[in-house]
A and B are shown apart, each in its own frame.
Chain A
């Protein structure tokens, strides 16, 4: 009898605890063809690799920058200025190390030519219309446009230098 009571009490309290408390727990909604957020480590065929993961160091993109060779060592002063410009003009859509509205710039120099990066900053409208990589990126990021923030060429170059410091 006592044990049954005890059990009942425990059960009741459990039920009450569940019902009580004003904070409703977040209801998990249903899921329908939700994109996988975890990146599978299997090697995929080229066609299925997202644009943000594809490597193409020969494409220079379309825009004012025709050729650009980067010096061996990073210009720390320039990179610091670039970090400042990036913080002011780019962080509404980009985080250095994680995907946000747009892709993360960390490691971009292993995937893209310096000219392509500069042209993407300076000439995003034409790039997303005509450059195959930029077009694919626009689709990958749900059609969210790369905004033209009208950076002077010098500032865009400094942002590129800052990107070199991102690991």
Chain B
């Protein structure tokens, strides 16, 4: 009897095992790749769950991707001219790229950060820093366009930027390279003790987001690499990693790696704000540009400011402390609770985590190890919360999932490592392909991350994609972090260098995305709101063409009386009031880009005709079945000709 039972039981067991496998289609038994594909497949017509704003690094721009699909939706021009969208080419946006050094058509765009309210991402604006000619830009997420750029004086290699406090009170801009402040002609070798590093706090007006430099903290001449604000309990503080506390000015790869520990500078900005509001600080003459794009006039203006308020940390006791951190730390990351400050010491074997609570206690009880130029250095042991022992090589940046886990990228060992806050134990690791830099969890710099995905951004791809000559794409990799183990779901190519990213659920942004600009709200000084108002006006050698466009004609489309040597401004208004009907326009021989004009918007390009003839212009953005018919002619006569100025549509010029 027993002998008969055994095989039956075994058989039954096997059957149960098989049927349970078959019933559970979500099982991870085999077919991992297909389940990964399902997780990133957004079917045609469906929308992605998250927006990811990935900086383009040396491209100077900000790209907009969807997650989990990895699809690219838009490249928002920020610091670099973009002929596709006439950014920095049309008359309206040229002022956006103005600086105290004149017009600069490029920058190095690094760290996007999304605005916050009450410590949570609110999806209103993205801020991003220009490294090279220090600037902070603001992108409005109702139009996905750059609407403000402020230059940062007394700064160089504006890198510990552009992170926002938890109510977007400030966006911070720290200098990576210290310089003479104010600038002067002096020997480079006299760097030590003479060069300074400025940490700039830019206030953000709550309603419209207008930026203004509130104060600059003039710090010792270290390199201020990255930063993050305190939150929750530590709201009111800001933390900056430093390297080159050696103050070397040559061969930094050796000379700036001498000290076993550099510092995280802890700045009590609320204390400094109070000091400044009560009349503290010193006004310093300093030129910097402030460029603002006005949505109602569809135009930007650039103002050169003349002075900036500087603060000496020694004048505000209790405002700045230094936390020793091994070694040449890069990322400076604060967990969602605001208690833990992670120093990603790129030359250290371990990850160092400081405790905000212990820091306050050490300050109160003066547990200091000395000072640097008068700024107190807190005892390392008295601020240390814990150490993640030998998690990998070259720790760079840590993000948090809001469930007690931290995720750190390791550049040299090319991996993402998951570890637990408070126990400091490593629980998982996944390789990156290759040389990962920063990573992003949606809602990363906030009290409330959405710990579903982590996006790792790689500097090098080697053999991962089809080759494209010596320069190959850089990439991002998406991991599912909803379970105990990270699962690699997707690799996708990116624009430029995907240096850093910020992300949030699409629903925070999608409903507020603008569809058209209302014609009646267009206050551009050269707007033409109906075809009846189109005209051509001569003023000496300057000619203004007031032109309109609608599917599928320009008005006027025949113009005569233009002469060689004229400066002709085409002010073109798109009369459409329907979603997704932009028009373009370009003119043969114009030394500029096309215009790409949204419904209800006016843009201007300048044309200086150099040759007699009849020259065509046409619509560059396929707009209707009659797009090919959307064209016109300008007759150019000799400089001394007396061809009368005339224009028409639909009838010949007689």
Contact = CB atoms under 8 A, between A and B. Distances in A.
Interface of A: 26, 87-89, 91-93, 100-101, 142-145, 147-150
Contact of A143 (B520, B531, B581, B625): B625
Interface stretch (B38-46, B333-341, B544-552): B544-552
Contacts of A101: 553
A100 B239 CA distance: 66
B100 interface: no
B555 interface: yes
B626 A149 contact: no
B519 A143 contact: no
Interface in B466-521: 516, 519-520
A143 B624 contact: yes
A101 B650 CA distance: 9
B92 interface: no
Which of B520, B530, B650 has the most C-beta atoms of chain A within 10 angstroms of its own C-beta? Answer: B530
A144 B624 contact: yes
Interface of B: 516, 519-520, 529-532, 548, 550-553, 555, 575-578, 581, 624-626, 650, 652
Contact of A145 (B529, B577, B625): B625
Contacts, number: 49
A87 to B, nearest CB: 6
A15 B551 CA distance: 47
26 contacts: A26-B652, A88-B519, A88-B520, A88-B529, A89-B519, A89-B530, A91-B532, A92-B531, A92-B550, A92-B555, A92-B575, A93-B550, A100-B650, A101-B553, A144-B551, A144-B552, A144-B624, A144-B625, A144-B626, A145-B624, A147-B576, A147-B577, A147-B581, A149-B576, A149-B577, A149-B578
B551 A87 contact: no
A160 B652 CA distance: 32
Nearest to B652: A26
Nearest to B626: A144
Given A92-B550, A142-B626, A147 B578 contact: yes
Contacts of B652: 26
Interface residue SS majority, chain A: loop
A150 B532 contact: no
A93 B530 CA distance: 11
A91 B577 contact: no
Contacts of B625: 143-145
Nearest to A124: B578
A87 B578 contact: no
A26 B652 CA distance: 11
Given A89-B530, A101-B553, A149-B577, 17 more contacts: A26-B652, A88-B520, A91-B532, A92-B555, A93-B550, A142-B626, A143-B624, A143-B626, A144-B551, A144-B552, A144-B625, A147-B576, A147-B581, A148-B577, A148-B578, A149-B578, A150-B516
Contacts of A26: 652
A150 B576 CA distance: 9
Which of B548, B575, B576, B650 has the most C-beta atoms of chain A within 10 angstroms of its own C-beta? Answer: B575
B542 to A, nearest CB: 27
Contacts of B575: 92
The 10 closest A-B pairs by CB, nearest first: A143-B625, A92-B550, A148-B578, A149-B577, A150-B577, A92-B531, A92-B575, A145-B624, A88-B530, A145-B551
B530 A91 contact: yes
Contacts of A93: 550
Contacts of A87: 530, 532
A50 B407 CA distance: 69
A149 B518 CA distance: 10
B639 to A, nearest CB: 17
A147 B551 contact: yes
A92 B530 contact: yes
A150 B626 contact: no
Given A143-B625, A143-B626, A150-B516, A89 B577 contact: yes
A160 B492 CA distance: 53
Given A92-B555, A100-B650, A147 B529 contact: no
Nearest to A87: B530
Contacts of A147: 550-551, 576-578, 581
Contact of B548 (A92, A100, A145, A148): A92
Nearest to A141: B626
Nearest to B578: A148
B551 A91 contact: no
Contacts of A142: 626
A93 B531 CA distance: 9
Contacts of B550: 92-93, 147
A91 B552 contact: no
A89 B529 CA distance: 8
A88 B652 CA distance: 24
A101 B555 CA distance: 12
A48 to B, nearest CB: 24
Contacts of A150: 516, 577-578
Nearest to A93: B550
Nearest to B549: A92
Nearest to B575: A92
B319 to A, nearest CB: 53
